[in-house]
Structure 1
Amino acid sequence: MIYDCIIIGGGIAGLQAAIQLGRYQHNVLVLDDGKGRSSICHCYHNLLGWPDGVSGEKLRSIGQMQALRLGVQFEKQRVEAVEQTGGLFCATTSTSQQFLGKRVLLATGIKDNIPPLEGLFPCLGKSVFVCPDCDGYEILNKKALVIGSGNAGVSMALTLTYWTDALTFINHGKGEIGADFMEKLVGKGIRLVSDEISEIHADCSDFMGVTLANGDRLEFAYAFLAFGGNLPNTGLALQLGVKLDKNKHIPVDPRTKMTSVENIWAAGDITVHSEQAAIAMGDGIQAAIWIHKSLLES
């Protein structure tokens, strides 16, 4: 079977595109391994229509059901390679299955740099956060930890002073802190802890604090992570000859979301730094509209 469009990535952007293309009655396949960042966020707090928040898992589940009703097909597989041949795109998965499509939408997102500390992942989106624009409000006038490394961690702490002045930064990653960053840190009254974390304390999704390598325990109900080095998942884009920017994200046409290669689109976190679910939705639907237009012209 030759699909009208193969969507690689079944997160927020990919699902929104799938729904729109399904409403156009195109034959659409979504390939996703279920390991995207939306699958580990246990609560989005800033989305229209969800005043009490919604988990990435629930949002994805609802989106998949909505797309399935429109005839969209799903395969829970990791795509290892994509190539263009004979005017079509061939996606090969880790199980060596191959799928052919007339168009490709890359919605592969980014991988957050999260330290392998047991207890962190159940708290993500609930009491441990990665995005100050999304979740800074959650610590309004509350004390909070910033767990990070070097200047990236200091930058996060400085940003969070908009919501609270009760901040402690743990330089767990031992990154170097520049003199100007240190001056700002001191100027804002942010406590600096240079020791590593030996243990995370949490009760399910409720963060409770940390124990440092020196044995000291710090009790906090909220934390932000800031290690820098988040990685855009652009390996497939490189295989297809898609142009990347200096930060390894994919530049797209602002109107159509097409990449530098004809008939290849990109949407969501892989294209921008805002890393907002609402923007990913907008990207997905915008790309789908122009994919539809291109199919009509072919």
Structure 2
Amino acid sequence: MYDCLIIGGGIAGLQAAIQLGRYNHKTMVLDSGDGRSAICHSYHNILGYPDGISGPKLREIGRQQAERLGVEFVKGKAANARKTASGFEIESDSGETHKAKRLLLATGIMDRVPPFPNLMQTLGISVYVCPDCDGYEVKDKTTIVMGAGNVGANMALTLSYFSNKITYVNHERTEVDEEKKTAMEEKGIEYVDGPIEKVLADGPDFRGVILANGDQLTSERGFIAFGGNEVKSQLAQQLGVELHENKHILVDPRTKMTNVEHVWAAGDVVAHSEQVTIAMGDGMQASIWIHKTLLAEKN
């Protein structure tokens, strides 16, 4: 039995794994290998990386650091979770069962990204999803917001803080409130109500879109804003963990433990701003309190 089982090998899970390894706790990370950090080609707002660092690279560095501390990694997706008399049992999609005294859910969320062939290679470099992370990257640049309804309109309005050269393409043609249309008009945001046929890109460099009607819109930067992101809190629900109305996990702000004893949560799956640096802090804070409870149990 492990001292702690971490579900998710993203930024929060890795930071927690490193710290638990430094505490000499027997720790395992069950990692499906997907998630936001697996597809972002560059983070620009992290201390120590002024020129950016990719999510996959940051994950690679973190995993190597954790492995040097004795942390085990298993590739797989957690399918079922249950509480037992001695701790927890997690069943993976391969049918394997893993047991642990403590459980940290660092399962994250996944953005709804349209399946345009050229889009994935641009994410984090010239096309973005988070205005707090990367709004600065569109400063004074022509920018196309690819989105749906009010979600896309809100993104366009938010980005108008950084640039006055914003175009919003309502790809899914979802209804936009009249007050938002008025607000976009007042900000000088061009509004296009029509589907995108193709995303234009030279490798990682976004160049614009071709609409279904044949019109071509050129741009230096892009943003995605479709809403409906998947919050990966299904395991939490199985364990009776309390969720926010948007399905994010609620935790104690000091300890990061959920309402279920010995179940912690960290990172984007928690109800707060979704940032790499916050995920790191969550993972660290959770690991400290996991250690405290394990230590108290031995004494």
TM range (shorter): over 0.9
CA distance in structure 2 between the partners assigned to 1:193 and 1:199 by the alignment: 15
Equivalent pair of 2:2/2:101 in contact (CA under 8 Å)? yes
Q: C-alpha displacement at 1:163, in angstroms?
A: 0.5
Who is 2:106 aligned against? Answer: 107
Correspondences of 1:1-12 after superposition (within 5 Å): 2-12=1-11
- Alignment pair present for 1:226 and 2:213: no
Who is 2:281 aligned against? Answer: 282
Task: Report the TM-score when normalising by structure 1.
Answer: 0.98
Identity of aligned pairs, percent? 56
1:238 maps to a residue whose letter is Q
1:262 maps to a residue whose letter is E
Q: C-alpha displacement at 1:175, in angstroms?
A: 1.2
Q: C-alpha displacement at 1:87, in angstroms?
A: 2.4
Q: C-alpha displacement at 1:139, in angstroms?
A: 1.1
Deviations along 1:251-273, one digit per CA (max 9) or x if unpaired, are 10000000010000000000034
Range 230-239 or range 284-293, more displaced? 230-239
Equivalent pair of 2:172/2:194 in contact (CA under 8 Å)? no
Who is 2:119 aligned against? Answer: 120
Correspondences of 1:174-213 after superposition (within 5 Å): 174-213=173-212
SS in 2 for 1:268: coil
Who is 1:81 aligned against? Answer: 80
Runs of 4+ in 1 over 6 A off after TM superposition: none
Who is 2:28 aligned against? Answer: 29
Deviations along 1:86-128, one digit per CA (max 9) or x if unpaired, are 2220111111011100000000001101111111111000000
Task: Report the TM-score when normalising by structure 2.
Answer: 0.98
Who is 2:263 aligned against? Answer: 264
2:23 maps to a residue whose letter is Y
SS in 2 for 1:251: coil
Deviations along 1:189-222, one digit per CA (max 9) or x if unpaired, are 1000111000111122111111100011111121
1:272 maps to a residue whose letter is A
- Alignment pair present for 1:155 and 2:136: no
1:215 maps to a residue whose letter is G
1:63 maps to a residue whose letter is G
Range 29-38 or range 83-92, more displaced? 83-92
| Superposition RMSD in Å | 0.7
SS in 2 for 1:269: coil
Who is 2:39 aligned against? Answer: 40
- List gaps (5 residues or longer) in structure 1: none
1:46 maps to a residue whose letter is N
Q: C-alpha displacement at 1:182, in angstroms?
A: 1.1
2:183 maps to a residue whose letter is K
SS in 2 for 1:53: coil
SS in 2 for 1:44: coil
Who is 2:95 aligned against? Answer: 96
1:52 maps to a residue whose letter is D
Who is 2:65 aligned against? Answer: 66
1:141 maps to a residue whose letter is D
Equivalent pair of 2:38/2:55 in contact (CA under 8 Å)? yes
SS in 2 for 1:83: strand
CA distance in structure 2 between the partners assigned to 1:191 and 1:273 by the alignment: 31
CA distance in structure 2 between the partners assigned to 1:257 and 1:234 by the alignment: 15
SS in 2 for 1:270: coil
SS in 2 for 1:63: helix
Equivalent pair of 2:244/2:271 in contact (CA under 8 Å)? no
